[in-house]
Amino acid sequence: MTAETPDALGLVALRDPRSLAAEAYRTLRTNIQFSSLDKPLHTLLVTSTSADEGKSTTLANLAVTMAQAEQRVILVDCDLRRPSLHTFFNLQNDVGLTSMILAQDEMPIPLQSTSIPDLKLLASGPLPPRPADILGSRRMETVIERLRNEADVVLFDTPPVIAVTDAAVLATRVDGVLLVLQANKTSRERGRRAREILDKVKANIVGAVLNNAEIEQGYDYYA
Ligand SMILES: Nc1ncnc2c1ncn2[C@@H]1O[C@H](COP(=O)(O)OP(=O)(O)O)[C@@H](O)[C@H]1O
Ligand SMILES: [Mg+2]
């Protein structure tokens, strides 16, 4: 399912800033800021135990609320298996992260503007055969460094951490990791497993988001 489907939550933080769902994303922003008072988080990655738990939706809305608070934000689509961040902003993903990694010479960062002035997107670019190799490459380190210099916060979307190594590889290179869990769907066992994988690579898990599509849709109803 993509954000373009009729029942999709999409960018609720932009569309309906007074909704309870938008309020929840602002609370998440505040909690993240407070979780890192001593060591500011410039780079943050989101992952989950499996597909469709709301990673991309959470990250896109968090990015909107951060940009609304006048932070310069870059969203990076590192889900090189099912990229979707571009769909939230009606943008393309044919040029992006992988274009930079594959370029012979250093190229300008192919950032795309969104309707929010302080929010830019680095889309996936063409999908590679082995995403983990891209994310673990030396060049990726340089890309992260360049992105850091362009923004206050850089947010990375990734595939589920249990299925493939991509998120764990990238987790070692960012300041913090946010785990999205579906309140009624993610089993304790899978939640624990995701933590184990992230702990093993010494990722800095800054928190977990309990996402529940049904409750959130209820929010819209009560708003
Ligand atoms: N809090 C929520 N409330 C309602 N629907 C949601 C919520 N979070 C995600 N969704 C919906 O669930 C589907 C999967 O979300 P997505 O963010 O694409 O998941 P993932 O990136 O983990 O695969 C989308 O249709 C999205 O609109
Ligand atoms: Mg996604």
pLDDT over 70 (residue 76) = yes
How large is the average pLDDT for residues 211-223? 50
How large is the average pLDDT for residues 36-51? 91
Neighbours of 83 (CB within 10 A): 21
Q: Do residues 80 and 126 lie in contact, with contact meaning Cβ atoms separated by under 8 Å? A: no
Give the residue from 31, 61, 59 showing the smallest Cα distance to 45.
59
Q: Do residues 110 and 100 lie in contact, with contact meaning Cβ atoms separated by under 8 Å? A: yes
Best substitution site from 1, 4, 9, 179 to test ligand 1's pocket, by max atoms within 8 Å of Cβ? 9
pLDDT over 70 (residue 200) = yes
Domains defined along the chain, listed by start: 32-222 (3.40.50.300)
Q: Exposed, middle or buried by CB within 10 Å (0-12, 13-18, 19+), for 71?
A: middle
> In angstroms, rounded to a whole number, what is the distance separating the alpha carbons of residues 17 and 217?
15
Extract the tokens encoding 88: 């939230």
pLDDT over 90 (residue 87) = yes
Q: Whose CA is nearest to atom 13 of ligand 1?
A: 52
Least confident among 37-51, 54-68, 147-161, 209-223 = 209-223
* 38 Cα: distance to centroid of ligand 2 (angstroms): 30
pLDDT band at 215 (very low <50, low <70, confident <90, very high): low
Smallest-distance ligand from the CA of 81: 2
Give the residue from 102, 99, 116, 114 showing the smallest Cα distance to 17.
116
161-194 as b/e: b if 16+ CB within 10 A? bbeebbbbbbbebbbbbbbbbbeeebeeebbeeb
Residue bearing the bigger pLDDT, 222 or 8: 8
pLDDT of residue 218: 41
Q: What percent of the chain has pLDDT over 70?
A: 92
Extract the tokens encoding 219: 């929010």
The position carrying tokens 């769909």 is 87
How large is the average pLDDT for residues 16-20? 94
* 139 Cα: distance to centroid of ligand 2 (angstroms): 24
How large is the average pLDDT for residues 13-32? 94
How large is the average pLDDT for residues 101-113? 95
pLDDT of residue 223: 29
List, chain by chain if needed, residues with CB within 6 Å of any ligand 1 atom.
Answer: 1, 3, 5, 8-9, 48, 51-57, 84, 211, 213, 216-217
pLDDT band at 62 (very low <50, low <70, confident <90, very high): very high
Best substitution site from 57, 59, 186, 217 to test ligand 1's pocket, by max atoms within 8 Å of Cβ? 57
pTM of the model: 0.93
pLDDT band at 186 (very low <50, low <70, confident <90, very high): confident
Q: Do residues 125 and 94 lie in contact, with contact meaning Cβ atoms separated by under 8 Å? A: yes
